[in-house]
Structure 1
Amino acid sequence: MEEINVKELKGKLDRKESFHLIDVREPFEYEEANIGGQLIPLGDIADHLEELEKWKDEEIVLMCRSGARSGNAQKFLQAEGFSKVYNLKGGILAWQEMEEDES
């Protein structure tokens, strides 16, 4: 499983690198805390496949609460032929922990 950690993701965001960040949590989770990714809940990923096709050869970072659901989304997209799909290791929990450590 290709993963990216929170510090690597923060660096990408700070450098304004070109990639797509997709949050596969539920809307209520996204409302509680998010880092600006596009919300597509895991259960809706298949319904958004046509929309995501335009990014098939572009870098996509998937995230959820802890990394489990985004790992499932990653496997699904890879099976559909997406080649540059990364799972955020530790999810939003790791992101929040990093922010606490920095403050």
Structure 2
Amino acid sequence: MILYALFMYFSQKRAVKPLSQEDFVLGYRKAQLIDVREPNEYNSGHILGARNIPVTQMKQRMKEIRPDKPVYLYCQSGLRSGRAAQMLYRKGYRDIYHLQGGFKKWTGKIKTK
């Protein structure tokens, strides 16, 4: 169990670059902003301009994400966006970032449905 946790930690560190909210804001307008939470979480509030591709659907919907543009991911706390980043990294995506602390730490503009 400990070995698996260590493996996941280091492979995630290689796949994704964590960004503070300030750095995230500077780059996400020029990138693909993806909320990897489930639709009910997305509908209760999400970052303005984000698309919802839940991590549970990532493999089936990966073709919706362009490999030639930066990918900015976020989830509620940062765990699921790390898993999504690993999936993308294994498929050849290299310009991947995620919001440190996730949506629960976000203080910027949000949209609700």
Normalised TM-score (structure 2): 0.75
How far does residue 35 in structure 1 lie from its aligned partner after superposition?
0.7
CA distance in 2, matches of 1:18, 1:11: 9
Instruction: Give 1:90's match in structure 2, choosing from 97, 101, 107.
Output: 101
Q: Which residue of 1 aligns with 2:58?
A: 45
CA distance in 2, matches of 1:51, 1:24: 13
How far does residue 58 in structure 1 lie from its aligned partner after superposition?
1.2
Q: How does 1:1-80 map to 2 (within 5 A)?
A: 1=13, 2-12=17-27, 17-36=29-48, 37-52=50-65, 55-80=66-91
Higher-helix-fraction structure = 1
Deviations for 1:22-50, whole angstroms, at most 9, x for unmatched residues? 00001111111111310001100111122
Q: Which residue of 1 aligns with 2:4?
A: none
Give the ranges of 4+ consecutive aligned residues of structure 1 lying more than 2 Å apart after TM superposition. 10-13
How many residues align? The count is 93
CA distance in 2, matches of 1:51, 1:20: 10
Q: Which residue of 1 aligns with 2:8?
A: none
CA RMSD of aligned residues (A): 1.6
Question: Which blocks of at least 5 consecutive residues in structure 2 are unaligned?
Answer: 1-12
Secondary structure at 2:84 match in 1:
helix
Sequence identity (%): 31
Question: Which blocks of at least 5 consecutive residues in structure 1 are unaligned?
Answer: none
